[in-house]
Chain A
Amino acid sequence: MTTLSSEIAETQKTHVSVGDYLKHHIRDYGMLVALVVIMAFFQIWTDGVLMKPLNLTNLFLQNSYIIIMALGMLLVIVCGHIDLSVGSVVGFIGALAAVMMVSYDLPVIVTVPVCLLAGALIGAAQGYWIAYWRIPSFVVTLAGMLVFRGLTLALLEGQSIGPFPKSFQALSSGFIPDPFGLDFKLLSLLLGVGVGAGMIIFGLRARAKQARFSHLDEPLSFFLAKNGIIAAAIIYITYLLATYNGLPNVLITMAVLISAYTFFTNKSVPGRRIYAIGGNEKAAKLSGIKTERLTFLTFANMGMLAALAGLIFAARLNTATPKAGVAFELDVIAAVFIGGASMSGGVGKIIGAVIGAFIMGVMNNGMSIMGVGIDWQQVIKGLVLLAAVIFDVYNKTKGEN
């Protein structure tokens, strides 16, 4: 408890009020607040259907592939590029997996790694031209979008291929096993409690470390309230899921990937360098950073995540169709921009992209439940994207004056 009391002393010493702090970090919390407001809105207007365990489970399953690709897309956009091919890669990898498993009867254990590798190679092939030949990523990936959509059709010969083995379907529609054998999935809840508690403990430790260097601008009360609410939300959601089938496998995959990429962007040397490349490529290069290689790897990584999304999407539908993944790239890119990334590179956070993806996902889901037609759904989603970016730009110009 000594850390906590020294911490309070530290906070009092620097003394930043909650209001001041929020004013300076409106960008960081604005989108989270927007997500909560949007969820509350649909919770009321759908008479509570939104947060029903079954629907909540569906919400995660429906959005998992968008979120997974948003992680890679964030890096691509932070690096100062764009990848328009990911939707087609989703379709192509789904088709490849289907051909391997259904037509050639290859086992899942072989198919999955081969598909992930194929995705990484596709990303690398595009990244090569972008990084070493300096061909604009917009053009290269636009070409990739056409090429891989075409190859999807060619592989599937215009047909849908399915169904898949059970073990492959579990990628998307499986749930983590529960050893307690109750109706209520206790393990799922315990995992949620563990994550919530871990978050607070790690948060406090990080704070104590920061305090030693007299950089503590977040007021303690705010820190506790924020983390408390987020932890409570996590526990509540896992509780809801536990009353149904427990945590879906894909949620675990997502959670692991989100943590890994958050860590990568915040703490790792290559992560930091990607931000520097997006912020000022020439300065990064003159600082000894191998800008070409990192850009190349960023695209290879994007390809691999698109492949993973393709596998999960195919597993969810239990069939590979020529139309799989059409226009996914737009949802993914929208999620990243709603999450606060900058078109010119160098700025953006993983957690922002994830929140952006959830905002899109909750709106899709909520509007579908309410029976809003697909036409108006598009209009509303488009306006939300525009509003989010206007909010960003407005905050930025206000900050400068």
Chain B
Amino acid sequence: MDAILEMRGITKTFPGVKALDNVSLKVKRGEIHALVGENGAGKSTLMKVLSGVYPHGSYEGDIVYDGEVQKFRGIADSEGGGIIIIHQELALVPLLSIAENIFLGNEIHRAGSIDWPATYARADELLRKVGLKEPSSTLITNIGVGKQQLVEIAKALSKRVKLLILDEPTASLQENDSQKLLDLLLEFKGQGITSILISHKLNEVSRVADSITVLRDGAAVSSLDCHAEAIDEARIIKDMVGRDMAHRYPERTPQVDGVLMEVFDWTAHHPQHPDRQVVKGVNMTVRRGEVVGIAGLMGSGRTELAMSLFGRSYGQNISGRVKMNGEDVDVSSVGRVVEAGIAYVTEDRKALGLVLDETLAKNISLSNLEQVSSHGIIDESAERKVALDFRDALNIRTPNVFQKVGNLSGGNQQKVVLSKWLFAGPQVLILDEPTRGIDVGAKFEIYTIINQLAAEGKGVVMISSEMPELLGMCDRIYVMNEGEFVGELSAAEASQEKIMSMIVRGKQP
């Protein structure tokens, strides 16, 4: 097999930083090539160089594609050559239809007048290819993230793609949607389309990849052929983080004490459709020093349960009772629920957790300004000290606490959101997808922090789509499906198979 793409000695510098240092990447025609590395390792930068976002001349080195040295000046150039990138943040227009999105900027027209019948027919055909069962006239806003991902791929196919690049395609997908997507990649491979898959998830990578390149700190540290040698996940992780990681989950001896939080018969309805129950009569117990997991598919009501509990931040007609330390508490507003000792760390840190334009210090103090102020006047030195303490305690990598959080990496941003809620001094922390979109090293650090919190006697509720993470971290796991808890498993009895079968079979009578 010849190489469809060869990037030779790519070096890209930004003022003060060498983002890529003499990186070479060779992708064979018709293979699935995985690009792995921690956040900030240079994966996205490398792909931006390839696609012409950073035009020829702004980097050193050569791009050889389809046997010729290419000088892409912009995305239009690279797309013209059949290189299509699907970014992690999907670029679809919510209020346009699937078909309109697929052909956006590439409309089927006759003399400037759009040929709608052809557009919809062609779109339906593309949707069949990617296995999406939706009419192409459906608006993007009415389909889930998993389906949107497929629309992006259909869009790529419409442009006669030769080299498809997927940047963390499964980061926001459910297990089964991820599987479907990966199957699709394998199908494309059969049709001769080459793919580059950027991912953090090693289990996915080892399932589909033909070869793997590991990037670390802007350099390609290793590459391996999956057919020539067995994939050694431990070695890949070691290459990614630059150190040995004996265990993916830190050791912990649980010291579970009395009951801390109890939730009785918690029910919430959809904010727009009052007759739809999104959370149905959930009962939950959290003990001191315990890490409790909530497993379930996306859309099963996990986030809705957490947010409706957290000061009715989601839904309407919410009913149910919450007890802390055996006493009823008022959870009717965010202020009250925080006072009761409950904190919620959102799954969407950028949209719901942080003020990206503000500094670390201001973000951390936001949920508990009272503690760094007197008579309504903020004591900035006290605020600074709090921020410095959290920076050191949680190992947030930043030169100073006056850095805008928008400039930090995902893992460090997550630590800032955690700091913010730790500063509010809760007894129970509900962590919604605490490791989404952050790299292996940072994940380990977050796990360590969770264990520390449990060791301090706090109760931790962990919502996650990654089952291995729940199995590795939790003392007890609730399984949620379609708004209700369908089962409960102790750490000893839990396994991925058991959780899945509970979800699939639904509530047992």
- On A, residues with C-beta under 8 Å from B are 209-210, 212-213, 215, 267-270, 272-273, 275-276, 279-280, 282-290, 346-347, 401
Contacts and interface: CB of A to CB of B under 8 A. Distances in A.
B313 A285 contact: yes
Nearest to B388: A213
Nearest to B366: A287
B373 A276 contact: no
Nearest to B377: A267
B356 A287 contact: no
A282 B381 CA distance: 27
A401 B373 CA distance: 36
20 contacts: A213-B381, A267-B378, A268-B377, A272-B369, A272-B378, A276-B355, A279-B355, A279-B356, A280-B352, A280-B354, A283-B353, A283-B366, A285-B313, A287-B334, A287-B420, A288-B334, A288-B367, A290-B335, A346-B357, A401-B15
B373 A269 contact: yes
Nearest to A214: B400
Given A283-B351, A288-B333, 10 more contacts: A210-B381, A267-B380, A269-B369, A276-B366, A279-B356, A282-B352, A284-B355, A285-B313, A285-B334, A286-B353
A215 B399 CA distance: 11
B311 interface: yes
B344 interface: yes
B82 to A, nearest CB: 28
Given A268-B376, A288-B311, A282 B358 contact: no
Among all A-B residue pairs, the 10 with the closest Cβ atoms = A279-B355, A288-B334, A287-B367, A280-B355, A288-B335, A287-B366, A213-B384, A269-B369, A269-B376, A282-B352
A271 B424 CA distance: 20
Interface in B308-367: 310-311, 313, 333-335, 338, 344, 346, 351-358, 362, 366-367
Contacts of A273: 369
Interface in B206-265: none
A398 to B, nearest CB: 10
Interface residues on B, range: 35 or more
A288 B338 contact: yes
Count chain A CB atoms within 10 A of each CB in B15, B354, B355 and give the residue with the most: B355
B116 interface: no
Contacts of A275: 355, 358, 362
Contacts of A289: 334, 366
Interface in B388-410: 388, 400-402
Given A212-B381, A270-B376, A279 B358 contact: yes
Q: Per DSSP, are chain A's interface residues mostly helix, strand or loop, or mixed?
A: helix
A209 B358 CA distance: 21
A210 B383 CA distance: 12
B385 interface: yes
Nearest to B346: A286
Interface of B: 14-15, 310-311, 313, 333-335, 338, 344, 346, 351-358, 362, 366-367, 369-370, 373, 376-378, 380-381, 384-385, 388, 400-402, 420, 424
B381 A209 contact: yes
A366 to B, nearest CB: 35
A351 B345 CA distance: 36
Given A213-B385, A285-B313, A287-B334, A280 B356 contact: yes
A282 B355 CA distance: 9
A280 B353 CA distance: 9
B380 A401 contact: no
Contacts of A285: 313, 334
Given A213-B388, A267-B380, A288-B335, A272 B362 contact: yes
B385 A286 contact: no
A269 B370 contact: yes
A283 B354 contact: yes
A282 B14 contact: no
Nearest to A290: B335
Contacts of B380: 267
Contacts of B376: 268-270
Count chain B CB atoms within 10 A of each CB in A268, A279, A285, A287 and give the residue with the most: A287
B269 to A, nearest CB: 20
A264 to B, nearest CB: 10
Given A215-B402, A285-B334, A346 B388 contact: no
A69 to B, nearest CB: 24
A286 B344 contact: yes
A50 B91 CA distance: 54
B305 to A, nearest CB: 15
B378 A269 contact: yes
B404 to A, nearest CB: 10
B399 to A, nearest CB: 11
Contacts of B333: 288
A270 B377 CA distance: 9
A282 B402 CA distance: 22
A91 B237 CA distance: 69
A210 B380 CA distance: 9
Given A268-B377, A269-B369, A286-B313, A347 B420 contact: no
B187 to A, nearest CB: 39
A209 B382 CA distance: 11
B388 to A, nearest CB: 7
Contacts of B362: 272, 275-276
A401 B48 CA distance: 14
